[in-house]
């Protein structure tokens, strides 16, 4: 009986730890999604953005945008995503880059230098 109680106590402790970790992750996602929503709306890059949408798009790590920057020096992902820009009017290219910049600023600020270097490599000129 004592072994059964120990096993039950261990199970409860592990379950509590899992719930606690989930809450921390959820809190992080909520905080980042709120920050992103405010930044996206305030900057005008996504005036209809909601916290729920930001959370589903980017979780707690910035999704594909931050993953692409983290995978350097294989800087293929963002330029590949930007290849559709050759069919866009130039103001939409700027909107796309500005939007990605907000993602980087909120979700992976350590990658801002990489993001800017990539824009330089692509000879990006916002004007």
Q: State pLDDT tens for residues 77-99.
A: 565 555 555 556 666 778 888 99
Q: Which of 57, 68, 46, 58 is nearest to 118 (CA)?
A: 68
Q: Measured between alpha carbons, how far is residue 103 from residues 12, 17, 60, 98, 107 in Å?
A: 38, 30, 11, 9, 6
Reading the chain (127 residues) residue by residue, the pLDDT tens digits are 444 333 333 333 333 333 344 447 899 999 999 999 999 999 999 999 999 999 999 999 998 888 888 766 554 556 555 555 555 666 677 888 899 999 999 999 999 998 898 888 778 888 7
Residues in the chain: 127
**pLDDT for residue 18:** 36
**pLDDT for residue 83:** 56
**pLDDT for residue 1:** 47
**pLDDT for residue 117:** 87
């Amino acid at each position: 009986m004592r072994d059964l109680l120990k096993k039950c106590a261990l199970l409860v402790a592990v379950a509590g730890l899992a719930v606690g970790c989930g809450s921390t992750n959820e809190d992080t996602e909520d905080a980042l999604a709120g920050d992103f929503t405010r930044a996206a709306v305030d900057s005008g890059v996504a005036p209809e953005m909601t916290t729920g949408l930001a959370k589903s798009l980017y979780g707690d790590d910035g999704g594909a945008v931050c993953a692409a920057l983290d995978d350097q020096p294989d800087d293929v992902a963002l330029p590949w995503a930007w290849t559709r820009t050759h069919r866009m009017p130039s103001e939409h290219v700027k909107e796309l880059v500005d939007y990605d910049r907000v993602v980087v600023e909120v979700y992976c600020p350590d990658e801002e230098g990489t993001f800017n270097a990539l824009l330089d490599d692509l000879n990006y000129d916002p004007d």
